[in-house]
Structure 1
Amino acid sequence: MTAFFLEAGFIGIMLYGDGRVSERVMMVSTSLVALGTILSTTWIISANSWMQTPSGYRVVDGQFVPTSWWEAIFSPSFGWRFPHMLLGVLITAAWLVAGIGAYYLRHGRATEFGRRTLSLSLGVVTLLLPAQLWIGDQVAARYVIPDQPAKFQALEGNWDSDNTGYLLFVVPDQQAERNRVEVGVPRLGSWIAKDLSGETATPGLKETPPQLRPDMLTTFYGFRAMFYASMVMFAAAFVGVVLRLRGRLYSSPRYHRFLVWLTPIGIIAIIGGWVTAEAGRQPWVVFGEMRTANGVSDIAPGSVVATFAAFTLTYLTLLVVWVVYVVRSVRRGPESDWPDEELGSDGDDPRRDAEVTA
């Protein structure tokens, strides 16, 4: 409730208050919206982490009763999953900002605004991405592999435990316990596991009893969507650093076009991560304690379908409205908000030339 009221109470000022309220009020409003969002992230990840690695409870008459609120809220996986999620949304927001800045530079509009926007967002991405990759590795090593080995087996895509390579593409057959098609890189799996000899094999899903196996297809490709997206982001950030050092960050139209296409890549990575976390947890709703089949409520199927359809339609409508709003705002540009400000143009601008040279 605190998170909701902070976000809902101040987001209107943050979105529409510029030029209508003081800069100090704008700063406070923006900070409170950010705080509310971080609180939302905290409680969502806390609840979901308890479902992944439950702790601080006992079962009384079929119900989970907390014995330690501290252990229940800060479950074993929370300490790694929370920064992983927080960095993920910050990086996603930074790519959105980078895409907007690149859009203006590509079209020669509001170039001063575009340069500052692009520079700031790429700086954030360059700093946060290495930390995110390290934390993601720790998420796998500290909680997925020891606590949910079946999830790790499914996301790696192996059925047998004799493959030292890394699979890039698979077409699994869950019933036959094999991959109809698979493409991989020999020994790469062992190297990722920090064994440079190339002899360490990755555990296969056959090590888990059939009734406790997650669906390999969704878990494998959920993880690949997240991992491949992170590699593309890392490469794009690296190219941006090189261009910045060579003084060409603001004058490379092909790179700007590439960044515009990369605008939603952080969202793809986040969705892939959540698919991995939730599909890989199956068949448990509370891992190791409560099967998903036992969590089904006694509700008429028609009510379930109608409710799901209503939620889906509502959220799709909100998504479309949000995308249309953002696209229109970007196309309108900052010039409409500050018509008397010097935002830059395609014409000769000594300050721009000096900054590009620097």
Structure 2
Amino acid sequence: MELDALMLSRIQFGFTIAFHIIFPSFTIGLASWLVALEFNWLRTGNPLYKNLFRFWVKVFAVSFGLGVVSGIVMSYQFGTNWSRYSEFTGNVLGPVIAYEVLTAFFLEASFLGIMLFGWEKVGNRLHFVATCLVALGTLISAFWILSANSWMQTPDGFAIENGKAVPTDWFKVVFNPSFPLRYAHMVTACYLTTAFAIAGMSAWMLLRAWKEPESRLAGARKSLSMALWFAVVAVPLQIFIGDMHGLVVMEHQPVKLAAIEGNWDRQANMPLRLFALPDQAAETNHYEVAIPKIGSLILTHSFDGVVPGLKDVPAADRPPVWPVFFSFRIMVGIGFAMLGLSLWSLYLRFKGTLFSNRLFLRAAMIMTPSGFGAVLFGWFTAEIGRQPFVVYGHLRTADAVSPISASAVTASLLTFIVVYAFVFGFGSYYLAKLLRKGPDPVEDLPGEDLTKTARRPLSVPSEGIEGGPGHEAQTAR
């Protein structure tokens, strides 16, 4: 592999986007989690929800800031490293990215301050509105970013004039063929990333029960329960959305699909390859472990369905098979591990041992980073599988790079590595410190009269608050 300006620019962009995507995939889900916590506090008056909100909003603030910093860096690379890409796509993707700034970033920036610092300065309901608008902003931001990225995967609604893409139908540009399912798939992935991170941290606190006050353990039980209820519903939904998205990939990006499946020849009755070592030079797989005909059944919903092969196109038009093949299987493996943990939690919940089964709690703690891993390997599959095109079928990656020297890219790449290690090292350390400490015990919240509620229900007896004498009955329900 020659480390020329093209390869170095790809490594640099891959390095920065891998760092960046970790934070939006967490904060998108975390913003909606904050909405759920504040809504439940307003609905019930239980101070446990407000206490959890005050903890997780700190984590959100740090993660949001790190996401913004890493996202700005990527946008500069479109001009420094990928100027020919910007020249080709600017008329189409420039406005789409501008819409993201105008409709999402401004919305988030306007209400983030109220959400973080305004609770004592505005009413409870206005603060809840600010929290909802910040969460809405994260979803709108994901809408435009996923629309732009999906257009690069399945471009539509444009014509090429004088070597540049020019929009002819904005509806088709925004709602290109792969966008709706990619958006649903990514947003659900963000929610699951947050759910398993929260469940893992809560399980860790419950495993340290002898070190924690009862009021803090009540928050851990509540967080674990809410996160796992969501996972029970969302994980099967995500598997279904992923299957539907696979059908879109087969229709619009058949070569990517062939690389994902390690399928070299177009064939009916394609097996489901659980494991193989793809050999791109020999155009074959070694040590293949497969289930006959199941691949065709999954992809075409028919045992006799025909699945495209890599040999359908010249070798120069094929993506690197090895990373696409394995990154997809790692993503799917993590997804089924999530499903297993979710079903296990459902079984333990009905047995009444969800919060006491130490083996399960250890498994939940191990699964804390699982959502981040699934997102990263899913993006590796999508982006590497698109190669050798940066705009699928229209602009090759080699033709999109700036006329820049390898030494200049090397210098900037090394600078990024050093700066990211410093900035994100300290940011990650602070996040880890926050997560290790966990929420304050309810009785220790400074300056807070916890007998006051936003909208007091008929009564809030002490035994109705988790951690009080009646918490066992409440968690059993």
Fold match (TM-score > 0.5): yes
Counterpart code for 1:304: V
Partner amino acid for 2:406?
P
Residue by residue over 1:167-205, the C-alpha shift from the partner in whole angstroms, topping out at 9 and shown as x without a partner, is 222222211212233333344324434767x56575432
Change (3 A) 1:217 1:11: farther
1:137 Cα deviation (Å)?
0.9
* Alpha-carbon separation, structure 2, partners of 1:305 and 1:201: 45
Instruction: Extract unaligned runs of 5+ from structure 2.
Output: 1-100, 451-461
Deviations 1:125-156 (A, max 9, x none): 11212221111111111x21011111111001
- Deviation sequence 1:14-38 (CA, Å, 0-9, x none): 4566678654354233222212211
313, 316, 321: which is aligned to 1:216?
321
> Which one has more relative contact order, counting CA pairs under 8 Å at least 6 apart?
2
The aligned residue for residue 107 of structure 2 is 6
CA contact (8 A) 1:46 1:75 kept: yes
TM-score (norm 1): 0.89
The residue aligned with 1:329 is: 434
Where in structure 1 are there 5+ consecutive unaligned residues?
Answer: none
**Distance verdict in 2 for CA 1:306–1:223, change over 3 Å:** same
Correspondence for 2:192 = 91
Note if contact 1:156-1:202 (Cα within 8 Å) is conserved in structure 2: no
Q: Residue 226 in 1 paired to residue 331 in 2?
A: yes
Structure 1 residues 338, 302: CA separation in 2 closer, same or farther (over 3 Å shift)?
A: farther
Q: Percent identity?
A: 39
Alignment CA distance shift 1:121-1:18 (3 Å): farther
Rounded to whole Å, the distance in 1 between the matches of 2:119 and 2:432 is 19
Q: Separation in 2 of the partners of 1:18 and 1:320?
A: 31
What is the rounded CA distance, in whole Å, between the counterparts of 2:206 and 2:443 in structure 1?
18
Alignment pair present for 1:248 and 2:353? yes
Equivalent residue of 2:470, what SS? helix
SS of the residue corresponding to residue 169 of structure 1 reads strand
**Matched residue, 2:5:** none
CA distance in 2, matches of 1:116, 1:356: 8
Q: Which moved further from structure 2: 38-47 or 325-334? A: 325-334
Give the structure 1 partner of residue 473 of structure 2. 354
**How far is the alpha carbon of 1:338 from its aligned partner?**
5.0
Shift of 1:12: 5.2
In 2: Cα distance, 1:126 partner to 1:262 partner: 15
* 1:204 matches 2:309: yes
TM-score normalized with structure 2 length: 0.68
Q: Deviations along 1:277-332, whole A, 9 cap, x unmatched?
A: 11111111111111111112112222222333334444444443343222211222
Query: Secondary structure of 2:149's match?
Result: helix
Contact 1:189 1:201 in 2 (8 A): no
Name the counterpart of 1:100: 201
RMSD (Å) for aligned C-alpha atoms: 2.6
Is residue 166 of structure 1 aligned with residue 272 of structure 2?
A: yes
1:212: how far off? 0.8
Q: Distance in 2 between matches of 1:17 and 1:184?
A: 57
Q: How far off is 1:122 after superposition?
A: 0.9
2:171 aligns with one of 63, 66, 70: 70
Q: 1:192 to 1:74 in 2, by over 3 A?
A: closer
Distance 1:176 1:305 in 2: 33
Alpha carbons of 1:33 and 1:292: their partners in 2 closer, same or farther (altered >3 Å)? same
Q: What are the Cα deviations for residues 178-235 of structure 1, in whole angstroms up to 9, with x where unaligned?
A: 2233333344324434767x56575432223211111111111121121111100011
Contact 1:164/1:186 (8 A) holds in 2: yes
Note closer, same or farther for the CA distance 1:72–1:7 as it changes in structure 2 (3 Å cut).
Answer: same
Cα distance change of structure 1 residues 314 and 21 upon mapping to structure 2, 3 Å threshold: farther
Q: Partners in 2 of 1:256 and 1:288 — Cα distance?
A: 47
Alignment of 1:274-289 (within 5 A): 274-289=379-394
Aligned residues: 353
Distance 1:332 1:81 in 2: 36
- Distance in 1, Cα, partners of 2:470 & 2:314: 67
Residue number among 126, 135, 140 corresponding to 2:246 in the alignment: 140
Structure 1 residues 309 and 47: alpha-carbon distance in aligned structure 2, compared to 1, 3 A threshold: farther
CA distance in 1, matches of 2:313, 2:321: 12
CA distance in 2, matches of 1:17, 1:330: 23
Q: CA–CA distance in 2 between the matches of 1:257 and 1:11?
A: 35
- The counterpart of 1:37, out of the listed 124, 129, 138, is 138
Q: Distance in 2 between matches of 1:193 and 1:244?
A: 35
Q: Which has the higher helix share?
A: 2
After superposition, what is the alpha-carbon deviation per residue over 1:328-348, rounded to whole angstroms, capped at 9, x for unaligned? 112222126751679877xxx
